Structure 1
Amino acid sequence: MTSTSSFGSRLRFLRQQQGLSQAALAGDEISTGYLSRLESGARQPTERVVSYLAAQLGVDRSAFDTRPVGGSLTQALSMAATTDNDAAVEELIDVLAGAGDEDPLLRWQALWLIVKYWHRRGERTEELAALEQLCELADELGLPALQCRSRTWFARCLRSAGEASRALELAARTYREAKEAQLSAVDTGNALAALVATEAEAGRLPDARAHVQELLDLVADVPDNTRRAEALWSAATVHSRLGDDESARAYLGQATQALDSRDDLTLWARLRLAAASLSLQSRPALTAPARTYLAEAQTALSLVGTPVQEQELLTLQAHLAFAEGDRVAARGFLDRLDRDQLMLSYRDQIRLHALDSLLLIGEGHQARGLARLKQLGEDARRASNMDLAAEIWRLLAEALEHTEKPGTAA
């Protein structure tokens, strides 16, 4: 008999391969709860249960001991691609790890699904590792479109992780090669959008402004509302970093109007999170529109939200409460976050820690809060996020000014 976890993995794969629910496979002999524990590896099957499950599935007992040698990756890939089921992707991860010299195109397709899985779960370390493999496979295949898609995603993930310099180099190369290969407007546009985002993050704002106009021109005739909305969002981000909040809000307003919730509910919600964030970064903070945007986003995310987006929502709700002067509510939102499992982007994490520092100052821990703000500003500077560093230094200066006034409390 194989190990408990291997048996559970094979059992789950065979059940899903035949399109059976846990209830259908369990039948009248065992409970679905017991079957679930078998599949997760939490329980060891008895000989009688193994025989029963083999009969239910119409397979030999040896099917639980070894994976099929031929076509296992094809089967696992087919299951993961045609079911909205994390267990199928987890099975694919297991199969790919032992795939050996399978067709590199199949391995690329499998890794693409796996990258999406890690991204959805907010597991950035695993996502980056899978993306490195994805780029290597794309180079092995020598297919420009796959190289562009792999590197574009890799650049976006590096930027989100705070590796702005590395992301910028990769994004610039990807866009250059996409134009040279005369790839589709969609692939070229995605590469250009990644370049704009990394230029803005790295403080290359004149370059970002020029490229974002190029992006808007590129997607102008693309019959896809999501592409236009994303391009307008990029324009809003660049103008926000340039300090032109009025233009940024105008672009983001166009983006929210361009996209109907029926086009892409997830993007629809993310745009509202972005609009709320922009409203809260204004001076003074525009709390009324921010509250409206967050209420709309919360409704949508209750249907389609990922763990990452749920953390983004909580963080913005904390920023809103702080801007409205309700520090108790702001602390309450922060306390609901799992600080040991933060899935936020590097920029959002720095802003979250800055808010926590301001709350500490207001709670009487002035020395600790001020020291943390100073460290956050230095961290952002070292990461080449100069506008983010400037934002933190401004918060530090305001906090110092306030705490130094006699008879005042932060």
Structure 2
Amino acid sequence: MTTSDLVGLRIKTVRRQRGLSQAQLAHPELSDSYVSLIESGKRTPTPAVLELLAQKLDCSLSYLVNGVTAEQMEDIELALGYARLALENGEVAEARTRFSELLADNNLTGLTQLRQDTEYGLALATEACGDLDAAIAIHLRLCDEELPTERQIEVAIALSRLYRECERPTEAVEIGERYLGAAARPAWTDVHVELGATLLNAYLNRGDMLRSRQFAAELLNAADLLGTPRATVAANWNAALLSEMGGHGEESLTFATRALAVQLENGQPRSLARMRLAYASLLVRARPHEVEEARKLMLQAEDELAQTSASTLDRARCRIEIARAEIIAGETAAAAASAQAALDLLPEGAPALEAEAHFILGRAYAYLGHPKAAKQSVQAVRSWLTPLPDSGRIAGAWYAAAEGFEQLGETEEAVGAYQRALASAGL
């Protein structure tokens, strides 16, 4: 049945329940023949006529339009609000359950906007629970629907991010270029800059430095023109990553400091925690002598992540960075504990992070004088990296693994890992 058929059927049903004839419902504003055409689905009433009929039938306008009473609509909106609140408060499993239960409500079927909002919330909660493949599937279903422009971009951002986390760099780039790579590119807005930053990150992950440099400059110009906090943070942070990859540590800190300062004034708790962690990680790489300051920032970010809708990936990544800082600070026992905590947090589907955690664990065991455990951890790095497609990020992981094998005296293993690092980097 069409929408007009359904609206007409509801009007007819309520009219009969009220004991009214078509002529009585129509009088004096409408003709009874017009009401008959509406009830048979042959005419689509205007919003004004629908509102008039709702008043005359003593029912809610939402019921005539969507088949949902005002009370049912209030219950749905309240349930959606509770699900969102659970997600914002970091109760990700609870949020996932609430979104799922709401989607099972038949009353949501005809409420397209609310259903799409609920599915989007479910995708975010599912990602936060660490089920990346399921989150991708939900976003892909949304991509097949007609969505408001901003929601389209938000879904694209999420998909590009998820593909990157799953080591699917080609798809991460493709989803961003679908919206930003066309000749008729849309005017820059906050969400477009954020999508651009996600796409730039995908270029970096793929090792496409030339495209990355061109795109970073374009994003910085767009952010300067917009002058908004969201665009400024996104453009400057990714410019920081690009500068670091180019060997310009101090320049990267300049960009990162600006991004963090804006985030401190305007950011949401989860975004602020992630930015603080990213800044601290960059700080310890650029200025190893400031490792204690960086570690304090990381621990602060970890506390903040625990109170937000941060995913298990976010929390595991934070623990990995803390472990890395502890290695630099010479606190090897603490580093081993942090790396193991990260492994305990990591869900399936994040092999690159698994490899990073095992690498740090192996280094910690080596420093602690446990060569057998160290060798097992470094070999685990190889097993996680072997099936992954080549990319700049994976090249760095193979190089780290090669260094680990070399430190352990595993010359043949080290040579093989160095060769994979070169191949992943396209050399």
Structure-2-length-normalised TM-score: 0.67
Amino acid at match of 1:79: L
Structure 1 residue ranges without an equivalent (≥5): 1-68, 406-410
- Distance of 1:104 and 1:287 partners within structure 2: 50
User: Which secondary structure state, in structure 2, belongs to the residue aligned with residue 290 of structure 1?
Assistant: helix
Q: 1:263 to 1:224 in 2, by over 3 A?
A: same
Alignment of 1:256-335 (within 5 A): 256-261=260-265, 263-282=267-286, 286-301=290-305, 303-304=307-308, 306-308=310-312, 309-335=314-340
What's the CA shift for 1:81?
3.7
Return 252-261 or 382-391, whichever deviates more.
382-391
- 1:364 equivalenced with 2:409 (yes/no): no
Q: Which residue of 2 aligns with 1:118?
A: 126
Cα deviation per residue 1:263-322 (whole Å; 9 max; x = unaligned)?
A: 433222211211222234448575233223224424534543635333333222211111
TM-score for the superposition, normalised by structure 1 = 0.70
Larger radius of gyration: 2
Higher deviation after alignment, 82-91 or 231-240: 82-91
Within the candidate set 372, 392, 397, 2:403 is matched to 397
Change (3 A) 1:180 1:345: farther
**Partners of 2:217 and 2:299 in 1: how far apart?**
31
Q: 1: distance between equivalents of 2:381 and 2:264?
A: 40
CA separation in 2, counterparts of 1:142 and 1:226? 22
Q: Distance in 1 between matches of 2:121 and 2:365?
A: 42
Measured against aligned partners, the alpha-carbon deviations of 1:319-344 in whole angstroms (never above 9, x if no partner) come to: 11112222211112233345374389
Give the secondary-structure state (helix, strand or coil) at the position aligned to 1:384. coil
Q: 1:302 and 1:88 mapped to 2: Cα distance?
A: 15
1:109 maps to 117
Q: Does 1:222 align with 2:206?
A: no
**Cα gap change, 1:325/1:114 in structure 2, threshold over 3 Å: closer, same or farther?**
same
Task: Name stretches of at least 5 consecutive residues in structure 2 with no aligned partner.
Answer: 1-66, 88-93, 412-427
Percent of aligned pairs sharing the same letter: 15
Asked if the contact 1:80/1:88 (under 8 Å) is kept, the reply is no
Measured in 1, the distance between the counterparts of 2:177 and 2:144 equals 18
**Counterpart in the other structure of 1:34:** none
Change (3 A) 1:70 1:259: closer
Paired residues of 1:265 and 1:304 also in contact (CA < 8 A): yes
RMSD of Structure 2 on Structure 1 (CA): 3.3
Q: Encode CA deviations 1:120-169: one digit per residue, 9 max, x unaligned.
A: 333323211211111112xxx26544433322321121112211111111
Contact preservation (8 Å) 2:233, 2:260: yes
Q: Does 1:186 align with 2:190?
A: yes
Whether 1:252 aligns to 2:263 is no
**Which residue identity does 2:101 align to in structure 1?**
D
Separation of aligned partners in 1, 2:267 and 2:147: 33
Contact in 2 for aligned 1:155/1:171 (Cα 8 Å) = yes
Q: In the alignment, which residue of structure 2 is the partner of 1:51?
A: none
* Deviation of the 1:385 alpha carbon: 2.1
Query: Which residue of 205, 212, 222 corresponds with 2:209?
Result: 205
SS in 2 for 1:226: helix
Secondary structure at 2:237's aligned position in 1? Answer: helix
Alignment of 1:8-87 (within 5 A): 70=68, 74=73, 77-83=76-82, 84-85=85-86, 87=94
Match of 1:90 in 2: 97
Asked if 2 retains the 8 angstrom alpha-carbon contact of 1:312 and 1:344, the reply is no
Q: Distance in 1 between matches of 2:75 and 2:390?
A: 42
